[in-house]
């Protein structure tokens, strides 16, 4: 697979939160995340579970710099992020993080290949031929070589979600953040997605040391994680597995 050059991995966690809280103002303020300390280390597969409304997705959005904490700090690749402006946050997101959601959010007018190239264009590191070669290589590695020129409406749900994973891998991120990635898939497609995410971590342990964080209601998926974090009412209530 064509590789995007990246700086050596830092010794510290890839992502870390310190006493992170997220509160939505209103007549009655709502606390989504309450004082969470959380680390994601190289070569780790972490699942985050909990009842609906417990703060799982809110935590993932904080980890992914898609939202800002009310108090506390989020570190990505050793960088404190509270003082970054929006352009700096976007640049760090593009270079260090990849996202997969329950709904693929592929652009319908673009082919699979073009969708995968979008984050590369936004980052602006590779030339056109390099972007094309990398996108083709990633799609091929996910069994989608024959679907590269198809638009999303010409593919199955499982194929679309694999394209979404390919897009998340476009800029060779340190961490993949996935929010209910199997929630809209059948059993077979769910197993494929889980296998891909698991393999991303396992194959990188001797090399780049990537990590995956998955928010899920799927207990089978959660059970395959190295560490399982359970959240209730915006707080970590239990942790299983290695830290």
Q: What is the pLDDT of residue 204?
A: 64
User: Which segments of 44-141 does DSSP mark as H helices, in order?
Assistant: 56-63, 86-96, 112-123, 128-141
Average pLDDT, the chain: 86
Q: What is the pLDDT of residue 8?
A: 43
Confidence of residue 64 (pLDDT cuts 50, 70, 90): very high
Q: Following CA atoms 115, 120, 122, 126 in sequence, which dihedral angle do they give, to the nearest 10 degrees? A: -140
215 bridge partner residues: 48, 179
Instruction: Tokens for 72, please give them.
Output: 């506390």
Instruction: Tokens for 30, please give them.
Output: 């709502």
228 bridge partner residues: 47, 240
- Average pLDDT on 217-236 reads 87
Instruction: Tokens for 37, please give them.
Output: 């300390």
Q: Let me know: does 9 contact 40? Beta carbons within 8 Å.
A: no
Q: With respect to CATH, is domain 15-241 assigned 3.40.50.300?
A: yes
Name the pTM for this structure: 0.86
Pick the closest to residue 93 from 122, 135, 50 (CA basis).
122
Pick the closest to residue 69 from 28, 17, 29, 27 (CA basis).
17
* pLDDT tens-place string over residues 137-193: 999 988 899 999 999 999 998 899 889 999 999 998 999 999 988 877 788 888 888
In the chain, domain spans: 15-241
Instruction: Tokens for 131, please give them.
Output: 């972007």
């Amino acid at each position: 697979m064509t590789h995007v050059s990246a700086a050596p991995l830092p010794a510290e966690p890839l992502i870390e939160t310190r006493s992170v809280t997220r509160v939505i103002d209103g007549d009655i303020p709502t606390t989504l995340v309450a004082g969470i300390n959380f680390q994601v280390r190289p070569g780790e597969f972490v699942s985050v579970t909990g009842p609906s409304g417990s703060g799982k997705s809110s935590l993932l959005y904080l980890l992914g710099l898609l939202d800002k904490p009310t108090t506390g700090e989020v570190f990505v690749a050793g960088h404190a992020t509270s003082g970054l402006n929006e352009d700096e946050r976007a640049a760090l997101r593009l270079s260090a993080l990849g996202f997969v959601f329950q709904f693929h959010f592929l652009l319908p007018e673009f082919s699979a290949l073009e969708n995968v190239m979008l984050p590369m264009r936004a980052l602006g590191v590779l030339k056109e031929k390099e972007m094309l070669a990398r996108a083709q290589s990633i799609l091929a590695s996910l069994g989608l070589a024959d679907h590269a020129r198809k638009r999303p409406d010409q593919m199955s749900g499982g194929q679309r979600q694999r394209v979404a994973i390919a897009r998340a891998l476009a800029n060779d991120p340190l961490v993949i953040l996935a929010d209910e990635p199997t929630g809209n898939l059948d059993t077979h497609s769910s197993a494929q997605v889980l296998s891909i995410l698991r393999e991303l971590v396992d194959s990188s342990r001797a090399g780049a040391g990537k990590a995956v964080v998955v928010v899920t209601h799927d207990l089978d998926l959660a059970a395959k994680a190295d560490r399982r974090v359970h959240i209730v009412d915006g707080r970590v209530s239990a942790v299983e597995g290695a830290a």
